[in-house]
């Protein structure tokens, strides 16, 4: 194909993809087909496909992240870590509709790691998929002492956050944030490629006096999520209070 024909072709592909996005075929934050798949569909080279996608990126319609691919551009879901609150409440305040889909709900024996934190032998374990405006944004697993959840049902944990279901006050939580590559099951739930970067958050929530009542693990697609922390000046330091460096060697 001559250069002029190639230019017309990639612009036509960009226009077609733009129309699909405008029609809702690909939702905000959702992944587009791979460059190879688009190349096969339109019978062009990956170079031509990439040029079309770059044209859409220049217009702010799509974006790309290494290890993830091309996706429909949208503002990332920002989570403030300044207070003990649920991400659902934060999303609702921003006009985004949160939703929970319960994947697993079972009472059983606590693992050694969970037992060491909660100090109980039996727990309720709930695994759920969190959605924002219908799009998956988190896979969450929560462990709670079984004695505190005796009368809870699947409908209860789907309708209300644990913070509301628990009787009595909650005082604080410690959250550790790291990164990992998405496993097959996590990738399928979050609708991202296997091996894509995800943010992994481990949280322990305690009552006044220090008793732990919840252990939870959250996995967020890295390209859709940002954490926001306000840092206040307290004293000269080489690093913000509350952050620690992990030696991976």
What is the fold of 3-72? Arc Repressor Mutant, subunit A (1.10.10)
Q: How far apart (Å, rounded) are the C-alpha atoms in residues 174 and 117?
A: 12
Whether 246 shows a pLDDT value over 70: the answer reads no
Please list the residue range(s) of the chain that carry CATH number 3.40.1410.10: 77-228
Q: Quick one: pLDDT band at residue 237, thresholds 50, 70, 90? A: low
Tens-place pLDDT, residues 74-123: 776 777 777 777 777 777 777 778 899 999 999 999 999 999 999 999 99
Residue 158 is inside which H or E element, if any?
helix 154-159
- Where are the extended beta strands (E) located within 41-97? 62-65, 69-72, 77-80
Please list the residue range(s) of the chain that carry CATH number 1.10.10.10: 3-72
Tens-place pLDDT, residues 148-206: 999 999 999 999 889 899 988 999 999 999 999 999 999 999 988 888 889 999 999 99
Residues 6 or more apart in contact with residue 71 via CB below 8 angstroms:
29, 30, 31, 32, 62, 63, 64, 65, 223
CATH superfamily of 77-228: Chorismate lyase-like (3.40.1410.10)
Question: Is there a contact between 192 and 31 (Cβ–Cβ < 8 Å)?
Answer: yes
Higher per-residue pLDDT: 238 or 183: 183
Quote the pLDDT of residue 72.
79
Q: Quick one: pLDDT band at residue 68, thresholds 50, 70, 90? A: confident
Whether 58 shows a pLDDT value over 90: the answer reads no
Q: How far apart (Å, rounded) are the C-alpha atoms in residues 31 and 88?
A: 23
Mean pLDDT across the chain = 84
Q: Which DSSP category does 9 fall into?
A: H
């Amino acid at each position: 194909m001559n250069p002029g024909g190639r230019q017309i072709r990639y612009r036509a592909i960009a226009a077609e993809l733009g129309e699909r996005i405008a029609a809702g075929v690909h939702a905000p934050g959702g992944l587009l087909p791979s460059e190879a798949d688009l190349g096969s569909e339109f019978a062009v080279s990956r170079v031509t496909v990439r040029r079309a996608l770059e044209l859409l990126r220049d217009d702010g319609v799509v974006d790309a992240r290494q290890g993830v691919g091309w996706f429909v551009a949208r503002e990332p879901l920002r989570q403030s870590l300044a207070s003990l609150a649920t991400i659902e409440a934060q999303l609702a305040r921003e006009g985004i509709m949160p939703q929970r889909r319960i994947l697993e709900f079972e009472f059983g024996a606590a693992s050694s790691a969970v037992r060491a934190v909660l100090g109980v032998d039996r727990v309720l374990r709930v695994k759920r998929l969190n959605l924002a405006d219908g799009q998956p944004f988190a896979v969450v697993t929560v462990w709670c002492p079984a004695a505190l959840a005796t009368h809870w049902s699947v409908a209860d944990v789907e309708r209300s956050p644990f913070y509301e279901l628990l009787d009595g006050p909650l005082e604080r939580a410690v959250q550790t944030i790291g990164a990992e590559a998405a496993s097959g099951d996590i990738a399928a739930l979050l609708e991202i490629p296997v091996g894509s970067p995800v943010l992994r958050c481990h949280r322990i929530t305690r009552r006044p006096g220090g008793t732990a009542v919840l252990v939870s693990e959250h996995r967020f697609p890295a390209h859709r999520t940002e954490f926001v922390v306000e840092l206040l000046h307290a004293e000269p330091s080489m690093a913000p209070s509350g952050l620690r460096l992990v030696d991976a060697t």
